[in-house]
Structure 1
Amino acid sequence: MTTGTAAPPRGAAAELDAAGITTPALRGAYARCRALNAEHGRTYFLATRLLTPAQRPAIHALYGFARMADDVVDAPGAATVAEVVARIEEIRARMRVALSGERDVLTDEPVVAALAHTVERYAIDHRYFEDFMDSMAMDLTVTDYPTFDDLAVYVHGSAAVIGLQVLPVLGTVVPRAEAEPSAAALGVAFQITNFLRDVGEDLDRGRIYLPADELAAFGVDRELLTWCRERRYTDPRVRRAIAHLVARTRAIYRRADAGIALLDPVSRPCVRTAAVLYGGILDEIVAADYDVLAHRVVVGNARRAAVAGPGLLRAVAARHRPGVRRRTR
């Protein structure tokens, strides 16, 4: 993969200018990450529009790297598990080289180059990326999670660390460590929301990201889920199990919500909007009577606009309001 020297799109260029990123190859690397976010992370990308332009490239870089690794794991095709493992370890190796300060990845792996620049700029702990890669590797061998505690091991690396990665970019008005538990919880809430929305698609890949013991309490197992998926039908037992897990996920959102007030004021509208939009997925699951196997629920464009509009007004107001001193460490 190469970045080339083509100028970034106009919107990306304005963000890169605001962030003070001037090197042509690095600008191309960040523009690539932004394109990945715009293409694949519809809710996430919309929320990033509420950040200051200077913050957005870093968020795009973090998203772009996560997306690149996730796509390797989930990409369809005839690749064997060994081949996918090799590619994951190749990405991990490139990541380690880049995070060590080497810059030779700039021309052949732009997403990793943008990541390394962001990590250095915001002093993000390298451990979070190792944990993330560990969870990506788990996807190749683990297809079921007996309990919520077992699922939590996976979700720590796939989601909690994402919240911890973006926290330095968002900034805080308290020492960063005080905001970390809420940031991690919000990442977990987003991830489990995705699991509930994508039960059918994940099942098609042979995976179940819902705790088996909590499903079993409602008489649900892999066999029943598969039977329902094949017939595009959601059994009442499945509906009750999903309703229970939706309620449990809402409780995680409530724990995370307290942390929004700890963020830099200019970042709060973005995070609040993301939380409302992702929470809206749960609302859509409820509205569909917990039918997550016949079709994939989505938050409609009208609702996205209704949520993002007020968020934009709050974001603009926050940028022009004398704020509390920002902390990033």
Structure 2
Amino acid sequence: MTTVCDVDTAYRRCEQITRSQAANFAYGIRLLPPVKRRALSAIYATARRIDDIGDGTLPPEEKLDQLARTREALHLLPGDDGGDPVLTALADAALRMPIPLAALDELIDGCAADVTGRTCDTFDDLHWYCRCVAGSIGRLSLGVFGATDPGRAEPLADALGVALQLTNILRDLVEDRMNGRIYLPTEDLDRFGCTLRLDGARFADPPERLIELVRFQARRAAEWYDNGLRLLPLLDRRSAACTAAMAGIYRRLLTRIAADPLAVTHSRVSLPGREKAWVAARALVGRSA
């Protein structure tokens, strides 16, 4: 049986992973009370592990094998954690809170799609992918936050995850393409006459077409934020502040992308740390960014 000390050590490891690797999410997580902060860190550390398998350098068949073994290990929770600190923390959190661990299956499905090179022909395809890799995290987080009306809250948490992932896709447009991945739907590329073919480290498409494509995607993401942020009144103050901080950082990033669409075709767009801290501080006092 895992001791209390072992659990504390496991949570500290998850918090360390979150602080070092979750540059944007860490600002919101800090606003939670300790029990919820530790639980959300356990969820993030687990998701980070799954993402790292998909984004790693192993051959595809080995990645898929690791994802399958990770899925099997998660299915044993909240019972046998195998002495793994990340799984120990996640199992403890799941015993304390109604965290829907089955949502991690969807995250693994999304990562497996990356490994196999699945492409998105339509927005429905992209929505499926976003729901797997990010909507799942929204639903897992909701298990930590709690909500006054869970039935209403769940699809809103899912929508907010989709909004964040759509922003990620725009932010990482060049980086993903250099890694052989295109997430934007083929139907949208065709609509705006773009191929996202690389010429060195930049896209070869005419700039005016890229601008139209990126702004179209940014407007779509903004609509998902508008829907997802209806979740905030259903959460307690600290959980709402955490959610508002994370969403606020990404929405400001989206606003920056929409204002200068060609920036994402040259490099990865980001916000300075002081701006992220400002967004988090406003979220804590209940003001939007």
Alignment TM class, shorter chain as reference: over 0.9
Pick the aligned partner of 1:127 from 102, 118, 134.
102
**How far does residue 277 in structure 1 lie from its aligned partner after superposition?**
0.8
Deviations 1:135-172 (CA, angstroms, capped at 9, x unpaired): 11111113421011011222221111111111021111
Distance 1:53 1:234 in 2: 50
Q: Higher mean Cα deviation, 135-144 or 197-206?
A: 135-144
Q: Tell me, what secondary structure is at the counterpart of 2:267? A: coil
Q: Which amino acid aligns with 2:181?
A: R
CA contact (8 A) 2:248 2:279 kept: yes
Alpha-carbon separation, structure 2, partners of 1:309 and 1:22:
36
Q: Which has the larger radius of gyration?
A: 1
The answer on 1:166 being equivalent to 2:141 is yes
Per-residue CA distance 1:254-305 (angstroms, 9 max, x = gap): 0112111111223111111211111011122134343212111101123212
Residues 207 and 262, structure 2, Cα contact 8 Å, conserved in 1: no
Partner of 1:65: 46
Distance change (3 Å), C-alpha of 1:232 and 1:300: farther
Where 1:124 maps in the other structure, the secondary structure is coil
The alpha carbon displacement at 1:228 in A equals: 6.9
Number of residue pairs aligned between Structure 1 and Structure 2:
286
Match of 2:177 in 1: 203
Q: TM-score, normalised by structure 1?
A: 0.81
Q: 1:25-104 alignment to 2 at 5 Å? A: 25-75=6-56, 77=57, 79-99=58-78, 101-103=79-81
Aligned pairs for 1:196-275 (under 5 A) are 196-223=170-197, 226-227=198-199, 229-230=201-202, 235-275=207-247
Length-normalised TM-score, structure 2:
0.92
Give the conservation status (yes or no) of the 8 Å contact 1:143–1:208.
Answer: no
Query: Which residue type is aligned with residue 53 of structure 2?
Result: V
Specify whether residues 28 and 214 from structure 1 end up closer, same or farther in structure 2 by C-alpha distance, changes over 3 A only: same
Gaps of 5+ in 1: 1-20, 316-329
The answer for the alignment partner of 2:127 in structure 1 is: 152
- Partners of 2:118 and 2:206 in 1: CA distance: 21
Moved more, 267-276 or 248-257: 267-276
Q: What are structure 2's unaligned runs of at least 5 residues?
A: none
Instruction: Name the aligned partner's letter for residue 88 of structure 1.
Output: L
Q: Distance in 2 between matches of 1:272 and 1:39?
A: 21
Letter paired with 2:249? L
> Matched residues in 1 for 2:74 and 2:97: separation?
16
- Kept in 2, the 8 Å contact 1:233–1:294? The answer is no
Of stretches 245-254 and 134-143 in structure 1, the one that deviates more from structure 2 is: 134-143
Backbone CA RMSD of aligned residues: 2.1
- How far residue 242 of structure 1 moved from its aligned partner, in angstroms, is 0.5
CA distance in structure 1 between the partners assigned to 2:201 and 2:192 by the alignment: 17
Return the alpha-carbon distance in structure 2 between the equivalents of residues 233 and 110 of structure 1: 47
